[in-house]
């Protein structure tokens, strides 16, 4: 299966009927840490025929002045950075899409099997990653668990979190660190997150529409059809995938 075939397959999940993306295009990815850049870049390049230009949030202004923004067909970033990325790119025609991550279904299933009032915490090497994962678990509204909070997977903060929970959800990169200080009775669940497929579908539809493809989405009965085409003018369009 080619990258174009995969792109069309992703789009078909959203009832989009486009032509394939015409070759690999370049997309700007903005995040606050190298770990987050690598995570999102792997996810995006694994699903779509694109080249990801990874830029740290703190370097975005400098990079935008030094490079040619017109080569970017779109910019993507996580929700918490969306306002700042939009502001920096406000003098360009680059549309901005917000990305969401979610806990794997296997993780939610394991949490659902826990006894009532089980205390659950979330740890990661990046606090933003931990908050995103916690938000995804909270959205599942599991009645049997109590989310205690999040923390970095290092230092005194991790020690305090571990002492307050029965189960700790963390990424594979910090699992050994967590197990070393967790109580023998504590359960460690590894979850490396997944990119919300709706964000991938939105980005794919945008890129196809820029290539002249049909991007009309088949809407449920009683609702209007929508398009993911970028807005006209100089201000980037905010495009969100709602969880």
pLDDT recorded at residue 16? 43
pLDDT in tens, 147-178: 999 988 777 888 899 999 999 999 888 899 89
**Within 13 A of 131's CA, how many CA atoms are on the CB side?**
7
DSSP string for residues in 41-76: HHHHHHHSSEEEEEEEGGGHHHHHHHS-GGG-SEEE
What pLDDT does residue 63 have? Answer: 92
The model's confidence at residue 21, banded by pLDDT at 50, 70 and 90, is: low
Give dist(CA 16, CA 71) in Å, integer.
Answer: 25
Percent of the chain with pLDDT over 70: 77
The answer to whether the beta carbons of residues 239 and 206 sit under 8 Å apart is yes
- Per-residue pLDDT tens over the stretch 184-205: 899 999 998 888 888 899 999 9
Residue 23: the pLDDT is 59
User: How far is Cα of residue 12 from the mean position of the Cα atoms in its chain?
Assistant: 20
Q: Tell me the pLDDT tens digit for each residue of 88-100.
A: 999 899 999 998 8
* Alpha-helical runs (H) found in the chain: 3-13, 34-47, 60-66, 82-88, 105-112, 127-139, 155-164, 175-181, 197-210
Taking the CA atoms of the chain, what radius of gyration do you get in angstroms? 20
What's the distance, CA 78 to chain centroid?
Answer: 6
Tell me which fold the domain 3-100+196-239 belongs to: Rossmann fold (3.40.50)
Instruction: Tell me phi and psi for residue 19, to 5 degrees.
Output: -80, 160
pLDDT of residue 129: 83
- At 7 the pLDDT is 44
Q: What CATH number was assigned to the domain covering residues 102-194?
A: 3.40.50.980
What are the residue ranges of CATH 3.40.50.980 in the chain? 102-194
pLDDT band at 22 (very low <50, low <70, confident <90, very high): low
Does pLDDT of 237 surpass 70?
Answer: no
> 230 pLDDT exceeds 80?
no
SS3 content of the chain, % helix, strand, coil (to 5): 40, 20, 35
Q: Who wins on pLDDT, 220 or 9?
A: 9
């Amino acid at each position: 299966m080619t990258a174009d075939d995969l792109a069309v397959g992703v789009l078909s999940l959203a009832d989009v009927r486009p032509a394939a993306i015409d070759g690999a295009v370049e997309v700007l990815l903005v995040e606050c840490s190298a770990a987050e850049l690598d995570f999102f870049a792997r996810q995006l390049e694994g699903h779509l025929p694109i080249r990801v230009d990874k830029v740290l949030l703190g370097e975005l202004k400098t990079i935008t002045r030094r490079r040619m923004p017109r080569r970017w067909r779109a910019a993507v970033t996580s929700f918490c950075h969306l306002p700042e990325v939009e502001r920096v790119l406000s003098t360009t025609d680059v549309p901005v899409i917000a990305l969401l991550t979610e806990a794997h279904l296997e993780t939610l299933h394991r949490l659902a099997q826990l006894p009532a009032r089980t205390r659950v915490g979330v740890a990661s090497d990046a606090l933003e990653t931990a908050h995103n994962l916690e938000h995804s678990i909270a959205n599942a509204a599991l009645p049997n668990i109590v989310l205690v909070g999040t923390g970095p997977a290092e230092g005194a903060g991790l020690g305090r979190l571990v002492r307050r929970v029965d189960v700790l959800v963390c990424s594979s990169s910090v699992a050994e660190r967590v197990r070393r200080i967790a109580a023998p009775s504590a359960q460690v669940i590894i979850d490396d997150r997944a990119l919300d497929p709706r964000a991938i579908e939105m980005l794919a539809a945008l890129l196809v529409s820029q290539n002249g493809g049909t991007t009309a989405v088949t809407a449920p009965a009683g609702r209007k059809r929508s398009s993911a085409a970028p807005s006209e003018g100089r201000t980037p369009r905010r495009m969100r995938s709602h969880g």
